[in-house]
Structure 1
């Protein structure tokens, strides 16, 4: 009997020891993983236990917080002022579907869990601090001008201050109201399902996350490569460009939208003015894909980590092409893709004398007292072309607006330069073409703005779809809002 009791005691002690070892293992090794697990309800309860900090536009919050009702254990939910207008900037903070855009990147600051917000006592007690705020570079006038001008069209627009890289406007349409999906009610879930299933893709940030063929706007990159490489010394030097041009190694003849345009052996200025396909296809072929790609990458193409601070989708200039495909790449077709942000960056560098300042839409991150936690007012800059090349391209772009295909962007009292683009879409161009316009404007005080506009789809007749007809008027309204 004593032996049986002794054995049972030993087994019991071993089980207790094993349990203690397991508890210690969980606490020391798995504890943080369990605490951080998205399925841990306590995290959400703590996260939504107090009002959030705010995302600020021009000194005013475009976000807020409200008490929840109906027995919800999450005490607060996010609200948005003019939600659809600012959704491409703020993103959403949803009790059910997570956080995106600036809401997601600065989640710890906005919920008060960032260690930089905590006092020594907060850190000692493990308590949360008062939430901080995120100050953006967005200007309400520019943002609203773009949003109103895009209207019901599917598209996007970006405006950048070339001098400091501040993103002044960033719009994607159709948009959505983040307030409608911020909670965990049945109505919020139904709205999320509706948005997710919509063919219009309102949850997609087209300004940053939708790279498409840039069409003739890419001719600015090819022109820069031609001048930088010394293939041509001036935008007014005549090129060696037969019209029409036969893609090298093929029988495919490349013509121009306007057969009457003086595109044969045209100068870069004339070729940009009339958007001559023969000139830029020949240029790209003569330069070779490596030189064109090198110039494109200086502007930001093929960068998979372009953060503003939201990460933009990669704009692509292909690495593997034959000579015919390289020719097509010269007019922004084949497998070349770009986001509106990327094309705004191209024009930004041209406007700023060949120097590209890193674009960003956050100026400062602050604590609740207004003390700066991080300042973004001095972003990095890099030279992507010579001042002379940039000056020549600005001059040629002004010719496009004054006398060429971009006349709808003219603004009285300002110097405006631009480039139109109409890119093929779908197999054998079966889809509605993309209408592009990228431009810069400078007022009498020397202040500048660079803009890129994409109209992905509209109710215009196919024959009426053009960069000048659809996108240039939107760019004009944005430039006026930025510089008036």
Structure 2
């Protein structure tokens, strides 16, 4: 009898050892495979088992969480979703995350180790602290003004604070409500199909993810290069620029949309956006200097982030002289995001310095304790301070008596450059209307806002599409909102 008990005990011990070995295999050796298995819903259940942290604008949340009572318990909600969609992006149980929801996902979902007072204990218990908060740099009034001024027209607005690089507004139109995609029900699936099939592409962030030919707004860069290189020393001296201007090495003749550009001084050519003058200036400056200046403003930077990625604005560095002439007036292969062109305007307003733009002021725990801050932002000199002073004069002239009079704000110092960019095969596409600008309030020591607006309104009459007519009033509305007491 005793022998049978010993055999049974040994057999039970072997079974127990086998169970322990199997548990070791499952939890250690095979843990990565099981964690990554699509059928394993534990991570998803834990992820949506608590409210997500919020994104704040002006100290108030523009996001929230709704208790569904289902297995994936909490769904994301949005306040004024279409207004802030280019900033927040979406957080969907079915389709993942985009923009700030993606860039700050670890913090918002509670996975960031900086949120845990006892990280080792959380590792043992597999618990997670409450999601943190993301405090943005946005100016609520500027964001609302930009969205209202676009009024559903296809286009985008970007506004920054020149001295710091803080992003004050980031609007893309048409927009959409990210809350439509939050869940995993048939409604979310239907919304996903509808939004992706919409020819107006409402989920495209035109402010940072789309590049456009900047047209005549790029003449700010060309003027900066010409002044810094000494190609232009007197803004009021004749430039010996013929009309039409024959592109070097070709029979193609470049003309202007208005009269009075023949041999026009740079000041007049800038005010009335003479293509012939600036195309010739770009050729005289040369490809190397034009490329260096464009890159100093932020073109050709593949690593731009705010903290989510920004599409690379491009200035081609392998051009012949004819192509350089066209590129110097913002055509040919020159492409820019609205955020990049806001940086160009900000550099003029900030004494020639470009501050890297950023959208997150700080991150905090649920209770408000700071986890991280933006810190000091790197700066680079796009042009000499004296050149920036002269470009300020030129941009103010545009508002006072040139193509940008509709950007003027009573009692404020305002500078602008408008543009109408051609695109498409043979320039057959409906032109894009541009305006870049900056404004300084009566009590401000330096300009406090720089703005870029692009409108791609295919419903308008081609002859009525101008930067001064369509984009300048939008820029004015945004600047006025920032300057308002």
TM-score (norm 2): 0.92
Unpaired runs of at least 5, structure 1: 1-16
| 1:412-423 superposed matches below 5 A | 412-423=410-421
Partner Cα distance (2:384, 2:116) in 1: 47
Does residue 83 of structure 2 align to residue 107 of structure 1?
A: no
Alpha-carbon distance between aligned partners in 2 of 1:346 and 1:340, rounded to the nearest angstrom: 10
Deviation at 1:29, TM superposition (A): 6.1
State the shift of 1:228 in Å. Answer: 1.0
Shift of 1:24: 6.3
**1:159-308 pair list within 5 angstroms:** 159-258=159-258, 260-261=259-260, 263-308=261-306
The equivalent of 1:4 in structure 2 is: none
8 Å Cα contact 1:256/1:276 also seen in 2? yes
Cα distance between partner residues in 2 of 1:234 and 1:127: 68
Q: CA deviation at 1:21?
A: 9.4
Q: Counterpart in 1 of 2:13?
A: none
Separation (CA, whole Å) in 1 of partners of 2:330 and 2:315: 9
1:95 equivalent in structure 2? 93
Which residue is 1:3 aligned to? none
**Secondary structure of the equivalent of 1:77?**
strand
> 1:278-313, CA deviations, whole angstroms, 9 ceiling, x for partnerless residues?
111101111222211110000100001110111100
Residue 439 of structure 1 aligns to a residue whose secondary structure is: strand
Distance 1:22 1:225, change over 3 A: farther
| Among candidates 367, 371, 374, match of residue 372 of structure 2 | 374
Aligned to 2:388: 390
Cα offset, 1:35, TM superposition: 2.1
- Give the match for residue 157 of structure 2: 157
In 2, are the aligned partners of 1:36 and 1:43 still within 8 Å (CA)?
A: no
1:342-367, Cα deviation, whole Å (9 max, x unpaired): 00000001100011111111100111
Deviation at 1:419, TM superposition (A): 0.6
Give the 3-state SS of the residue equivalent to 2:305 in structure 1.
Answer: coil
Following TM superposition, by how much is the alpha carbon of 1:460 offset from its aligned partner in structure 2, in angstroms? 2.0
Cα displacement (A) at 1:186:
0.5
Report the aligned-residue RMSD. 2.0
Q: Matched residue of 1:457: which SS?
A: coil
Change (3 A) 1:25 1:244: farther
CA deviation profile, 1:64-95 (whole Å, cap 9, x unmatched): 000115xx320100000000000001000001
Q: What is the TM-score of this pair, normalised by structure 1?
A: 0.92
Structure-1 separation of matches of 2:22 and 2:282? 66
Hey, what's the Cα distance between the residues in 2 that align with 1:38 and 1:403?
A: 64
Structure 1 residue 23 displacement after superposition: 8.2
CA deviation digits over 1:424-470, x for unaligned, max 9? Answer: 12111222111100001111112421000000125321110000111
**For residues 299 and 391 of structure 1, what CA distance do their matches in structure 2 show?**
16
Distance in 2 (alpha carbons) for counterparts of 1:144 and 1:469: 21
The structure-2 alpha-carbon separation of the partners of 1:36 and 1:160, relative to structure 1 and needing over 3 Å to count, comes to: farther
Match of 2:7 in 1: none
CA distance in 1, matches of 2:282, 2:25: 62
Structure 2 unaligned residues grouped into runs of 5+: 1-16
Give the Cα separation in 1 of the matches to 2:106 and 2:222. 43
1:203 is paired with a residue of what secondary structure?
coil
Matches within 5 A, 1:38-53: 40-53=40-53
Q: Secondary structure at 1:207's aligned position in 2?
A: coil
Deviations 1:405-434 (A, max 9, x none): 111111111111111111112111222111
SS across alignment from 2:50: coil
Instruction: Assess if the C-alpha contact under 8 Å between 1:147 and 1:171 holds in 2.
Output: yes
Q: 1:470: which partner in 2? A: 470
Determine the C-alpha separation between the residues in 2 that align with 1:29 and 1:279.
Answer: 70
Q: Partner of 2:429 in structure 1?
A: 431
Of 378-387 and 237-246, the range deviating more from structure 2: 237-246
| Residue aligning to 1:411 | 409
Shift in alpha-carbon separation, 1:198–1:403, aligned structure 2, 3 A: same
Q: Is the 8 A contact 1:234 1:392 kept in 2?
A: no
Note the C-alpha offset of 1:28.
4.8
> Secondary structure of 1:453's partner?
strand
Q: Paired residues, what number?
A: 465
